[in-house]
Structure 1
């Protein structure tokens, strides 16, 4: 949880840990405290598993990595991006099984937007350099921060200039291998870089990454808890 530090976790090599619900497993990436507070994790639902109804006091953000995620509001296949605002509740599960990236209790309390987006049927936009494509998923501006979440696709051999991330950056590598001057990050790697950090990213192989920027400074000063 020390968001002043750069953190790299290759989730493919991590063990699955049991959750309070039978058939639901987790790989914890960051956690404020046991079963409450802010948490980022990779979650796996075994086929036929459903979690009891529960609420998300400060919101829930999900990206479906594989399988089909479900709740009483619908079914969400791989590639679906979900945002459930503060105060929302549901009974999640999966008939066929699924894996998800889940972030809990990190919303600005003024961010009440509900999002269900099938990224497999959403247009890509050109990026800032050749070989880069971007799919915006969510943005929210507040007094102290401007947060953006997007999918970014890197074609083979794409390179980007050195740049800073005001407010920090969080990446999950979904496909291929992402790289910068600090290392190589294969599919499944989670990278969190602190506020005002900089790097020069590239991908020799090509990759698809989920990127979130601008949120870490707000979480550090606690404004996610404002009501």
Structure 2
């Protein structure tokens, strides 16, 4: 299965375009944002758990990155309400579930094989944030390959002060404008390495999940 699989091209899924489809697991639906492969795929998705839904324990050979958007997501390591960021390294396993229902943003099979650290960050904790000029930043992960953070921006502020080598963002609150077109909360944007972006926080300001630096190698491989 190939969905937005050309990483040399811009990909956008606006919130009003999101289409929930059933997964192989009862009670679990997803919006496929990008995907290369079948069920064991390099994939970026929104995943929605109905109350009392769960997956059997399974392995993630290429790692897994999760941001809990609503409800409470659970696995063997704990219960994680909205705002928690989880990073499970390659070779890890878990048994995900949700007692009351949840929506999560998930990236699969996109980590370096050398990564070994489990990450758990509560982005609702004010101590996790710092001020950088006019914006607030919550760093989630950083290494020589990629940088992952949440950012809160004032209305009309440029999202990039310097052009990144590829970028991916999910609008968590407010809205953004790209080339003058507005994208509301829930929209996902992937910009390829080498592309400049006329990208700004909208009239409401914006809170974003933002990942940079991770697309140069992927673009060369695909």
Name the structure 1 match of 2:197: 199
Looking at structure 1, the residues matched to 160 and 146 of structure 2 have their Cα atoms a distance apart, in angstroms, of 21
Q: 1:133 aligns with which of 131, 136, 149?
A: 136
Distance (whole Å) between structure 1 residues aligned to residue 105 and residue 157 of structure 2: 26
RMSD: 1.7
Whether the aligned pair in 2 keeps the contact of 1:67 and 1:97 (CA below 8 Å) is yes
Alpha-carbon distance change, 72 to 161 in structure 1, aligned in 2, over 3 angstroms: closer
Matched, 1:43 2:47: yes
| Distance of 1:109 and 1:116 partners within structure 2 | 19
Asked if 1:21 is matched to 2:20, the reply is no
Deviations 1:26-58 (A, max 9, x none): 000111122012000000000000111100001
Contact 2:153-2:159 within 8 A present in 1 as well = no
Match of 1:190 among 185, 188, 191: 188
**TM-score w.r.t. length of structure 2:** 0.92
Structure 2 residues not aligned, in runs of 5+: none
Corresponding residue for residue 115 of structure 1: 119
Secondary structure of the equivalent of 2:146? strand
Deviations along 1:137-163, one digit per CA (max 9) or x if unpaired, are 10111xxxx310000101234345663
Partner SS state of residue 128, structure 2: coil
Shift of the 97–27 alpha-carbon distance from structure 1 to 2, 3 Å rule, reads same
- Hey, what does 1:52 align to over in structure 2? 56
Higher alpha-carbon deviation: 90-99 or 180-189: 180-189
Q: In the alignment, which residue of structure 1 is the partner of 2:108? A: 104
Q: Which whole-Å CA distance do the structure 2 matches of 1:12 and 1:79 have between them? A: 22
User: Against the structure 1 CA distance between its residues 136 and 162, is the aligned structure 2 distance closer, same or farther, given a 3 Å change threshold?
Assistant: closer
Point out the more displaced range, 74-83 or 152-161.
152-161
Which of 124, 127, 142 is the equivalent residue of 2:129?
Answer: 124
Q: How many residues align?
A: 216
Secondary structure (helix, strand or coil) at the match of 1:36 reads coil
Say whether the 8 Å CA contact 1:44–1:98 is kept in structure 2: yes
Tell me the alpha carbon deviations over residues 120-174 of structure 1, each in whole angstroms, 9 at most, x when there is no partner: 01432122x42x1111110111xxxx310000101234345663221x1000001
* Maintained 8 Å contact 2:128/2:139: no
> What secondary structure does 2:217 align onto?
helix
TM-score by length of 1: 0.90
CA contact (8 A) 1:163 1:199 kept: no
Moved >4 Å (runs of 4+): none
Q: What is the deviation of 1:119?
A: 0.4
